[in-house]
Structure 1
Amino acid sequence: MGTTLTATFETRREAEMTVERLVQEHGIERTDVFIAAEGEENSAGEELAGSDAEAGEPSPEPRDDAPLDGAVSVSVDIEDDAKAAKVREAFAEFHADDVTEA
């Protein structure tokens, strides 16, 4: 029987880095990974990071329109206990909050 591991991240960058780690390095199928805003509004997280943050020079004008409307949720459907351990490790590596298992 499978399980779903879910965690929240303060930034979109942390969520995206987690997904890339799982897919590229641990062989998790991309179709088993889901990313969503934690609330009802679209969100890039709770704080700026990665491409949402101001870039160095030379760069276009800084942006201030990233929707910071709550955490970003990542959930992974997994069948294998060894891969579930890798999911938990990736969540921890990228500073996940509120990790749950269902």
Structure 2
Amino acid sequence: MSEQVVIGKATEATAARSVLFKLVMFSLSLGIVPISSYFASEEYLWNGNSTYAAITAVVSANVVLVAYIISSVLEDRPMAPDTSAKTLLESKKQQ
């Protein structure tokens, strides 16, 4: 029984590190991606037009936010069990 507790605590710690890593990565990209897309698009895409470059930065920030929301929703979705009803019936027959 104590082995199960240790495994459960290790799994929780790994999950917490995974969530923290994801939060840090999305926070950094929310700061870096829009700023870099603004300056890059202003220089190379829009030939100095700062209005279009600002729109590009806003769109890139929204893309990062939507990606974070999607990854959070997919993370919260419960895992489907691997065993199906057929395998459960077969295991009962063998007993």
TM-score surpassing 0.5? Answer: no
TM range (shorter): under 0.3
Structure number with the bigger relative contact order (C-alpha 8 A, sep ≥ 6) is 1
The two structures have a TM-score, normalised by structure 1, of: 0.26
Between structures 1 and 2, the one with greater strand share:
1
The structure whose Rg is larger is 2
Provide the TM-score with structure 2 as the length reference. Answer: 0.27
User: Which one has a larger percent helix, Structure 1 or Structure 2?
Assistant: 2
